[in-house]
Amino acid sequence: MDAEMEDAGAQAEIERGGGGGGADAVLGLAGGGAPVSLCYHQAFGPHDDLVLLEAADDLLPDLLQGRVTVRGRPEEEAVLCTPSATYSMKFVGTSNSMFLIPPGEPSAKCLRPDSTNGDANAVAATIKLAPGSIELVRTAPRLDKLRSLLRERPYILDEVLGNDFQHMKGLYTWQDLCKLIQASDGELLDGLNTLSAVEIDGFWRTVDANSVNTILDMILHNSVLHDWPLNAMPENDVLSVMESDGFTHKIVTHCLNRFGTKVEQESRSFWNLDEKRVCLQFAQRALGAGKMKLANFMDKWERSIPSGMRADLQMLEGEVLCEKLGAETWVHAFSVADLPLTPADRFAALFREQPKWEWKDLQPYIRDLRLPGVSSEGLLIKYTRRTQPSAEAEPIFTAR
């Protein structure tokens, strides 16, 4: 019978602390009407399963329509994620006594110290004394872990993945990443794009550098063979030729996207290779892991790039560092993409690499840093010490 079931449900809800409090009567108090008695609900208790979450009005739609998740491992500090933003969750206690009064018709049973049955006016009941509430503070997504996870098992051309559990190690699906990475879906996707990750067979992978070079070389080699202009390579032709050379559409498209931009013209797709991105790849290949004399490096680099492209040291800011050793200038790889994302760790890594920085060298290594509510000047003030030997000299930044 519906009425009975409804009552049973309402009764269950009251016992769980979610109803039977008469909140409306309390909320209507300011109207200057009859006084309201407030007593302890029959089910008054700690109710540790009830928590209060402070939510700004702009977060309410996401919260009330099921678009919010709490993410993190049990040992991490929890974060709350809307589709596009990440918030840290901090419990803030109160020394006040905050009595919670649930909605619903006031249930007749109130506790009184003299255990009489409640007076005729008893209309509101408190279910719990709240110790405080959880505050949300917008925070940068925690993406450092994403990079280390995806570097466990980069995709290598012609790799063979086994089927058993051992061979699944280091492979992460989108759902796995949502559970492990403390970031909103939107920020997670941005993070994956920043890493040039690609989803292959359901797993998000970074592509091993040698494999990238092989594919790029092949694309360039074919462009010469088939007369494709590097600023207008016909997509269908590129894909079919590369496929016959043994490269899947997916991985070729990924590389085209990594080194170029797509242009639609007369309902055909063309790819325009970006000089800076292509030359950077060749620079990294020329430089390798060690140091080179600048002149030698420039020579090797210029001879390796596709004809028609121009090598310029400016393209490598944030990717290589030059230093003067004696009379010679040496250069080595130092890529911002390998550095930590959190400002404190980033500055620590930069000052470990070299203790003093001029602004023009430092800027490319910190311009990607984001801390909600803090400007880049703010970051400099917080993490560096600025000295200027004389009015005409360049300012120098050192660790604070």
Partner 1 sequence: MQIQVQCGCGEPSCPEWAVVELQGVAGYTFTVGYHELAGTKVTLKNPLLVLRKTKTNAGCGEQEPPEVELEVIGIIRHKILFKDRPKALISKPPTKEKKTLQPAAK
Residues in the site for partner 1, rule: CB under 8 A? Answer: 16, 18, 21, 23-24, 26-27, 29-30, 35, 37-39, 49-57, 60-61, 63-66, 68-74, 80, 95-104, 112-113, 119, 122, 124, 126, 129-130, 133, 178-179
Q: Is there a contact between 262 and 269 (Cβ–Cβ < 8 Å)? A: yes
- Distance from the first to the final alpha carbon of the chain: 73
C-alpha span between 329 and 346 (Å, rounded): 25
Which C-beta is closer to partner 1: that of 26 or that of 212? 26
C-alpha span between 342 and 350 (Å, rounded): 12
Which C-beta is closer to partner 1: that of 113 or that of 389? 113
Question: In whole angstroms, how close is the CB of 7 to partner 1 at the nearest point?
Answer: 17
* Listed residue (179, 196, 204, 231) closest to 69, CA to CA: 179
Length of the chain: 400
Q: How is residue 180 written in tokens? A: 């492990």
Question: In whole angstroms, how close is the CB of 60 to partner 1 at the nearest point?
Answer: 7
C-alpha span between 385 and 399 (Å, rounded): 6
Which C-beta is closer to partner 1: that of 130 or that of 273? 130
Q: How is residue 195 written in tokens? A: 């890493």
Question: In whole angstroms, how close is the CB of 279 to partner 1 at the nearest point?
Answer: 41
C-alpha span between 346 and 380 (Å, rounded): 12
Q: How far is CA 318 from CA 101, 155, 162, 291, 313, in A?
A: 57, 25, 38, 16, 11
Question: In whole angstroms, how close is the CB of 135 to partner 1 at the nearest point?
Answer: 9
Which C-beta is closer to partner 1: that of 20 or that of 343? 20
C-alpha span between 20 and 150 (Å, rounded): 51
Which C-beta is closer to partner 1: that of 145 or that of 300? 145
Q: Is there a contact between 78 and 53 (Cβ–Cβ < 8 Å)? A: no
Question: In whole angstroms, how close is the CB of 96 to partner 1 at the nearest point?
Answer: 5
Q: Tell me the β-bridge partners of 384.
A: 399
Which C-beta is closer to partner 1: that of 99 or that of 228? 99
Which C-beta is closer to partner 1: that of 51 or that of 295? 51
Which C-beta is closer to partner 1: that of 114 or that of 377? 114
Give the largest CA-CA distance in the chain.
Answer: 97
Question: In whole angstroms, how close is the CB of 54 to partner 1 at the nearest point?
Answer: 5
Question: In whole angstroms, how close is the CB of 55 to partner 1 at the nearest point?
Answer: 5
Question: In whole angstroms, how close is the CB of 49 to partner 1 at the nearest point?
Answer: 5
Question: In whole angstroms, how close is the CB of 302 to partner 1 at the nearest point?
Answer: 49
C-alpha dihedral over 163, 164, 170, 172, to 10 degrees?
Answer: 60
Which C-beta is closer to partner 1: that of 96 or that of 267? 96
Q: Is there a contact between 209 and 166 (Cβ–Cβ < 8 Å)? A: no
Question: In whole angstroms, how close is the CB of 191 to partner 1 at the nearest point?
Answer: 16
Which C-beta is closer to partner 1: that of 55 or that of 366? 55
Q: Which residues contact 357 (CB under 8 A, 6 or more apart)?
A: 350, 351, 396, 397, 398
C-alpha span between 224 and 231 (Å, rounded): 13
Cα 98 to the chain's mean position, in Å?
Answer: 36
